[in-house]
Structure 1
Amino acid sequence: MWYPENRHVLNETLNKYLKTGKHKKPLALDKNSKLKKGQNPLHGIIVPHAGYQYSGAVAGTAFSLIKKPVKKAIVIGPSHYVHLFDAMTTNQQDIQTPLGKTKTFNTDFLTGNIEQEHSISNQYPFLQKLHVEQIMPLMIGKITNQQALEIAKKISKIKALYVFSTDLSHFLDYETAVKKDKESVKIIENLDSEKFRFIDACGYFPLLILKELCKIKKTKPELVEYKNSGDVIGDKTSVVGYASFYF
């Protein structure tokens, strides 16, 4: 299991992770919200999706930025188990975790059984903790730049919190991973089209959609926190990188 199966333990775990985020700038949910002095608009976040004991705290730093009620969220993650060349959402009316059920919604995307995709399902408890009313999970396969643009245009019309799911480099030694991940973080923050193909991340194809969505929303991602599994468990011989952003 990627997170605690016991409702009480999961709830307490999420409480702990959601207290880890302390960002210097207060954020409003979207550009249509009434911004107070010093606030930035918040369209969405980028979070990792490993087991909670590894990356849950890093994910929590981004989820903790969401202070206003969210009616809808779109969770966009890579396909790890299904060969896919498109975007697919769930064919289920609800998603369920130990915290309960949450309704899903669809805006005419291809449907299928995507329940085993952990890059998406690992975000559900965080969203339930934030009392999100409806979720559209979107599993992304090997898409083209044109497909990424079309998907970005489609979801940009939906008033929702966008949650992009990706880990960074996998199974490098600690020093190499940190160097590689710093390069990826810089490319993501700058939306550098020329260097985007050099990003080392399992969520590369969702990030193609992110790049186009940020252009539409006229915003850029900003790093909240970076760590890797070596920082968490101490074994630095072979690590996985985790980063959280908001945009």
Structure 2
Amino acid sequence: MTRRATHAGSWYSDYGRELSEQLNDWLVSADLSHGPARAIIAPHAGYTYCGACGGFAYRQVSPAVVKRIFILGPSHHVRLRGCALSIASKYKTPLYNLKIDTEINSQLEKTGQFSWMDMKTDEDEHSIEMHLPYIAKVMEDYKEQFTIVPILVGSLSPEQESMYGELLSQYFTDPQNLFVISSDFCHWGQRFRYTYYDKSCGPIYKSIEKLDKEGMDIIETLNLSAFTDYLRKYNNTICGRHPIGVMLGAAKVLRDKMGYKLSFKFLKYAQSSQCHNMNDSSVSYASGSLVFEN
């Protein structure tokens, strides 16, 4: 069963050659400065807005090493209290189809902590799909040598984030696995019902940037409880906060129980537009990379 590329044309060009060239330009423009990535945080909005930013995360990937890519995307449309797997066997992209790792899906199902999303839920959700062309582009020289594991992440409690992080930590330890954490950052404006504004920053867009950067700084410390406290304090509308929480939960296990040395670094930040008054709106984007240090 193949999942269609349902957002092609509206979120990114559905012309394979044009899209491939566009992705290549963004990747070439980004520096390889914090790799090889074991996990990345990258945005999932329309490429017109966040494609260039996303390139900085995907530039850190070492495609010759990667054999399996986990994609953790937040659920925007359905109420989900845990995490769900895809029933599809392939995901279609404008470049080429991506094969789903049914063996890993089976392993995850046996934990009893994962449900299955039906095809409509899968095709309605863009948080995973928006990463597929970038994955296809980065991995195009090795397209027969890797699989993907899409995971839809619901509204998790901090305890659930820790639990899923611990469950997935064993997969983080394998250098052939890559985790893609799908998230945009602050959704600001009345249409998002979020208008936090620290006037000491000057223009609204500077207040948004300060707010996002504070959260990004905390993520770089890989401290789940500090990130939870930050979200409770500001209610920042980071849509991928739960996938990020799962990554931070895994990082805690990897550092505290397994003794790994980890380093996360954000490489790019952008906003869809600059807000100057309360009638404006914007979405923020950030790209970062997690590496295992020797």
Q: TM-score, normalised by structure 2?
A: 0.73
Q: Pick from 212, 216, 219: which aligns with 2:249?
A: 212
- Kindly name which structure, 1 or 2, has the bigger radius of gyration based on alpha carbons: 2
What residue is the counterpart of 2:76 in the other structure? 80
1:67-106 equivalences under 5 Å are: 67-69=62-64, 70-105=66-101, 106=105
Partner of 1:128: 136
AA of the residue aligned to 1:156: S
In the alignment, which of 7, 10, 14 is matched to residue 5 of structure 1? 14
Runs of 4+ in structure 1 off by over 4 angstroms are none
In the other structure, the counterpart of 2:230 is: 198
Distance 1:66 1:206, change over 3 A: same
Which of 268, 284, 287 is matched with 1:225 structurally?
268
Q: Which of residues 58, 61, 70 is equivalent to 1:66?
A: 61
Q: Cα 1:179–1:65, aligned 2, differ >3 Å: closer, same or farther?
A: same
Residues 225-245 of structure 1: CA deviation (Å, up to 9, x unaligned): 111112xxx676321110011
2:215/2:227 contact within 8 Å kept: no
Give the root-mean-square deviation of aligned CA atoms. 1.8
SS of 1:61's equivalent in the other structure is helix
Q: Which runs of 5+ in 1 are unaligned?
A: 29-41
Question: Partners in 2 of 1:20 and 1:98 — Cα distance?
Answer: 22
Q: What do residues 161-214 of structure 1 show as CA deviations (whole Å, max 9, x unaligned)?
A: 001011111124412211211111112112342343424211111111011112
Question: Which residue does 1:178 correspond to in 2?
Answer: 209
Aligned length: 230
Show CA shifts across 1:125-184 (max 9, x none): 111112252111111111122222222222222241001011111124412211211111
Instruction: Point out the structure with the larger helix share.
Output: 2
- The one-letter amino acid paired with 1:146 is E
Q: Does structure 1 retain, via aligned residues, the 8 Å contact 2:169–2:251? A: no
Q: In 2, distance between residues paired with 1:24 and 1:44?
A: 14
Structure 2: which 5+ residue stretches go unaligned?
Answer: 1-9, 190-203, 256-261
Question: What does 1:103-182 align with in structure 2 at a 5 Å threshold?
Answer: 103-105=99-101, 106=105, 107-108=108-109, 109-113=114-118, 114-131=122-139, 133-158=146-171, 159=174, 160-172=177-189, 173-182=204-213
Report the identity percentage.
31
Instruction: Kindly provide the CA deviation profile for residues 85-113 of structure 1, in whole angstroms up to 9, marking residues without a partner as x.
Output: 01011110000011121111213232113
